[in-house]
A and B are shown apart, each in its own frame.
Chain A
Amino acid sequence: MSIRDFALPELSMRFFPIWQRHWLVWKKVAAASIMGHLADPVIYMLGLGYGLGSLLPQMGGTSYMTFLAAGTVCYSTMNSASFEALYSGFSRMHEQRTWEAILNTPITLDDIVLSEILWAATKSLMSGIAVLVVIWLLGLSHSVMSLWMIPLALLVGLAFAGLGLIMTALAPSYDFFLYYFTLVITPMMMISGVFFPVNQLPESVQMVSNVLPLTHAIDLARPLMTGAVPPAALLHIAVLLAYTLFGFYVSLVLFRRRLSR
């Protein structure tokens, strides 16, 4: 490991042609991709929402369905960015050697990692918008404030793309990602307030929940859906940005080390 691996990222617009490449690939599978963005979250939201919702008339001051809708947008954007950064990112880095091809041009690894984060966040944005459209069509949110969910989807995507890329940089193979999903993503979904309020949890678990990015995303999303200004909004935004920068820098250092052979 050399000192150069720790240099701050050198950012430039050179990431854009790589983003364009991913976009061109995505366009070829757009229909399947949009269905993937929609099917899973909408099935959960409707299934749990109608099923449990009839037993639980109110939660957090709204209907259970509306409560669940805010959480669904956040976890589906989290999943989109995570899958893209882990599986697709690993494929481009390792299986298809796309990165290797790009590195032979005037583009650097810093540009590639930036493009991966931004592309994974783009996928989050698309999946967030897809779920929001369903929410609006079902009349689960009437507030103009819910439009703020769109930039929030992008921010959640950035944070989870950064974290996901750390895993990709460390992964020996695809199997490694099961650890991340089973030990990190799924438990996070349970204790970040997607399905029930965090204050239902034991206090020690609440303390863990308080530092998780998904919790901060949901703390922003839930008021926005009902038209309120989220309390401590700047703090939540700052936490998500901090996760983004942390993930970007740490993954970049790890990728530099991994690819310097």
Chain B
Amino acid sequence: MTPIIQASNLQKSYSGQRVVDGLNLSIHKGECFGLLGPNGAGKTTTLRMLLGLISPDAGEISLLNLPVPQAAREARIRVGVVPQMDNLDPDFTVAENLLVYGRYFGLKDSEIEARIPSLLEFASLTNKRNAKVPTLSGGMKRRLTLARALVNDPDVLFLDEPTTGLDPQARHLIWQRLRELTQQGKTLLLTTHFMDEAERLCHRLAVLDNGKLISQGTPRELIEQNIEPQVVEVFGETAEAWANINAAHYSQRFELSGETVFCYLHDAQPLVAHLQTQNSLRYLHRPANLEDVFLKLTGREMRE
């Protein structure tokens, strides 16, 4: 089966700086695929190239079996996009936003009007049908943006940080809707900073850093391949001094970040037993998660 989205050896530079560097991706029908990476890793640039909005310097893209950017316009007829920044029409009501956007796909007014009730229901906005956009909460705006991206009943959805800036309730509602969409057989490509989002939603993930794909697989594979299975976080004022003497003895690998020591290990029992004797230290023992993988692969220093 040919992938719905395929990119091979994508390259893009801006004023001499490589933003995307030799990227290969293939995403299959019905998959929810996550692109992870720190700010500036090249996630948004990759999405924009896959949509045909900017041309790669080198490499090949096919989207829904059409070559991009050559046939990007035709491909976008069957694609929906949830952008990173809100770009709803502030002058319009909720329903007008859907109507006006549907027209851009060449849909007849009657077709769009027929779809609006189910789109509003999907976005839990039925009673906001005639509300103006500026009166909506952040979560409602996001849901309207998602409904708008579905107005053409697309096969593929691109979502650029779909839950950034939302409170936990709003985020959970978006997650639930995105899961429904994958159950309907739609293909989702999303970027995110939230590791719990990636772990819960995505079938497969790719970690990008400096425009390069540095790891790829299911969330479980990424954890198994990249990191020790157990983590013990040790914190307290004396944690650093403690770590310099003891951490290497008990753990395969450790990192100091602020007042916290992260110990990565295969068997946590000896360390936990030792820590129980240390009154000045507190600790947390947990299984390794995607955030540990992400920090290991992309480093702990800030990217700005």
Contact = CB atoms under 8 A, between A and B. Distances in A.
Interface in B39-95: 51, 53-55, 73-74, 76-77, 79, 81, 83, 85-92
Contact of B85 (A4, A21, A97): A97
Contact of A28 (B79, B91, B105): B91
Contact of B103 (A20, A25, A97, A98): A20
B258 interface: no
B149 to A, nearest CB: 8
B154 to A, nearest CB: 10
A106 B92 contact: no
Interface in B267-283: none
Contacts of A104: 51, 53, 76, 79, 81, 83
Q: Nearest 9 A-B pairs (CB), nearest first?
A: A97-B87, A17-B103, A105-B104, A104-B81, A101-B87, A25-B91, A106-B77, A106-B76, A21-B100
Contacts of A21: 89, 100, 103
B240 interface: no
B153 interface: no
B31 interface: no
B55 A2 contact: yes
Of the four ranges (under 10, 10 to 19, 20 to 34, 35 or more), the interface on chain B belongs to 20 to 34
Interface string B98-121: 001101111000000000000000
Interface residues of A, number: 24
B126 to A, nearest CB: 22
Contacts of B90: 96
Nearest to B19: A261
Interface of A: 2, 4, 14, 17-18, 20-21, 24-25, 28, 96-98, 100-108, 260-261
Nearest to A103: B53
B92 A24 contact: yes
A78 to B, nearest CB: 25
Contacts of B76: 104-106
Nearest to B15: A261
Nearest to A102: B104
Contacts of B233: none
A261 B54 contact: yes
Contacts of A96: 87, 89-90
Nearest to B107: A17
17 contacts: A4-B55, A17-B100, A17-B103, A18-B104, A21-B89, A21-B103, A24-B92, A25-B92, A100-B87, A101-B83, A101-B87, A101-B88, A102-B104, A105-B76, A106-B74, A106-B77, A106-B105
Given A24-B92, A24-B96, A260-B54, A17 B87 contact: no
A20 B100 contact: yes
A17 B104 contact: yes
B90 to A, nearest CB: 6
A2 B101 CA distance: 30
Nearest to A104: B81
Contact of A261 (B14, B74, B77, B85): B14
A101 B148 CA distance: 10
Given A2-B55, A100-B83, A261-B14, A106 B89 contact: no
A241 to B, nearest CB: 29
A97 B87 CA distance: 5
Interface centre among B54, B73, B89, B104 (most CB of A within 10 A): B104
A19 B51 CA distance: 24
Contacts of B100: 17, 20-21, 24
